[in-house]
Amino acid sequence: MNLARGVDRVMARLPEGPTAVKDEALRVLAEDGEVNRTIGATGAQLLTDLVDIDRLRIYTHCNAGALACVEWGTALGVVHSLSAFGPTGLGIRR
Amino acid sequence: MTMTVWTLSTSDGPLRAQRVVLATGACTKTRIPNWSGRDTFKPPLIHSSQYRNPSAYRGQRVLVVGAGNSAAEIAADLAEARDVTVEMAVRTPPTILRRDTHGVPTQPVGIALRYAPPAIVNPLGSRPASHRRFPICPVYGLSRPKAPYSQFQRTGTVPVLDHGFVAAVRSGAITIRTAVMALDGRDVIHADGFAILPDAVVAATGYTSGLNPILGPLGLLDDRDLPTIGSRGGPEAVGLYTVGISIPLSGLLERSPSTSAAWLRAIARLTAGPTMGHDGHALVTEDRRYWCGASTGWMTMSSCSIRPACLGRSGGWRSRPVDELVDAIRRLAVRGAPLLGAAGALGVLLAVQEAKQAGWDDSTAARCRSAAAGRPGRRR
């Protein structure tokens, strides 16, 4: 799904030449990073609003970190952003 | 189908990594030339790194070999002891600069001149004005280098910053001799046929990177044993980088911190888990996000587009980048919905870059589609 969407989006710029293709491809990458960081910041803010940071325990499965994204991560991206607030208990199940 | 993967033999056993950063330094091993007759030589012969002070050489005749900063400083240090007879064997006359000019230190000038063309920099070291200040050549056996900066670029010999060396040569406390050709029993035989009988020899003959066993077989070392690839890598060895293994005119400490910091940031971005291993020889990052990483992933990919990772050592194309990407997707080396989206976007870009090299035709669009479908495109 995402694969086809990424291809289509850049393919649409083909008629405009290689530079447009390169710009669009890099924009796809940059947007993914931005979206991830926004997810991370929003999620981290929400969690710290809801729960005392010291009592926060996070349980996650499946790799939703930077490995699955261009950078930062989605679900683990929240944890990534949370690390700015302090150490958090984290369990990962593969 | 191959992706470039490096296998490192380490003291902890083999390690596989798609990117390898060597940061082991340019001056790791001491270097003493293998002079003929060295095994017959009786007097103590030490490397400059073992030299401490003149006390061991009171009343002796000492030959310092070399013309770099170490040689000049050790010779001057020995000459200051008064009761040491100091000679210096010089193969390539050094560029000698004042340590400072009217209080302005020379080192930052070297930093500033890093990117200047030789035509501008060359005259600075051999300008008549500075030559008048240091009239030690050729009267004292040191001929003036004609193009100091080009000499630096060619030989890696950095200029000598004067700490009293020039004064010692002018006062006759240091005698300049020609290069060492051979050793024989107690004799040191010089290039001009002159032989002397020193009580000790200090070889200020520099260092090597010690990388010959690692990079030598790959053909990635120049004739000074320094890597031909730097921190930006190169098409000849995709995924291999070196940081700080060079001899910049501005000095190692000036440039390395920024490059290494950039690399550490890149590695931190790339490694989502504890996939960083290191031993005494190499910093290794195992990065599975080969195609779709952030900035460094892009760097690797752009070098692929010039000469792809799949270019075998024996030469020739083993596969094409789009096919490799498709293969990586099928092998699940590229996983995760967001990453797949980025992979698709970059796949189109790869196809376009292929087309630019091979000539644009109808198959370009088909190959883009093949990236979308996650299956290798038809080859021409």
Q: How far is A6 from chain B (nearest CA, A)?
A: 4
Alpha-carbon distance of B359 to B356, in angstroms, equals 5
Contacts of B292 in chain A (CB under 8 A): 29, 70
Q: How far is B141 from chain A (nearest CA, A)?
A: 59
Residue A20 at interface with chain B, using a CB cutoff of 8 Å: no
Which long-range contacts link B275-280 to residues 24+ away (Cβ below 8 Å)? Answer: B277/B12, B277/B15, B279/B10, B279/B11, B279/B12, B280/B11
Q: What is the pLDDT of residue B153?
A: 61
B32-205: CATH topology is: FAD/NAD(P)-binding domain (3.50.50)
Q: Kindly identify which residue of chain B lies nearest to residue A5, measuring between CA atoms.
A: B341
* Count of CB pairs separated by less than 8 Å, A with B: 116
User: Tell me: the pLDDT tens digits for B47-86?
Assistant: 999 999 999 999 999 999 998 889 999 999 999 988 999 9
Interface test with B, best of A1, A10, A79 (most B CBs within 10 A): A10
| C-alpha A72 chain-centroid distance | 5
User: Tell me: the pLDDT tens digits for A18-50?
Assistant: 888 888 988 888 898 899 999 999 998 898 888
Residue A33 at interface with chain B, using a CB cutoff of 8 Å: yes
- Which residues on neighbouring strands pair with residue B105, listed in sequence order? B100
Q: What is the pLDDT of residue A59?
A: 76
Contact status, residue B260 vs residue B243, Cβ threshold 8 Å = yes
User: Tell me: the pLDDT tens digits for B343-362?
Assistant: 888 888 877 777 766 665 66
Alpha-carbon distance of B4 to B337, in angstroms, equals 24
Sequence ranges of the domains in chain B: 17-28+209-287, 32-205, 290-380
**In which element (H, E) is residue B340 found?**
helix B337-358
Residue A17: domain span: 2-93
Averaged pLDDT of chain B: 70
Top pLDDT among B125 and B16 is at: B16
Query: Residue B220 half-sphere exposure, CB side, CA atoms within 13 Å?
Result: 23
Q: How far is B310 from chain A (nearest CA, A)?
A: 22
Top pLDDT among B285 and B197 is at: B197
Q: How far is A53 from chain B (nearest CA, A)?
A: 23
Q: How many residues does chain A have?
A: 94
Can you tell me the ipTM of this complex?
0.83
Nearest Cα neighbor of A69 from B343, B300, B326 is B343
Could you give the number of structural domains in chain A? 1
User: Tell me: the pLDDT tens digits for B89-112?
Assistant: 998 877 777 766 666 666 666 555
- For every residue of B66-83, DSSP letters joined together read --SHHHHHHHHHHHHTSS
Contact flag A5-B339 (C-beta cutoff 8 Å): no
**In which element (H, E) is residue B284 found?**
strand B283-285
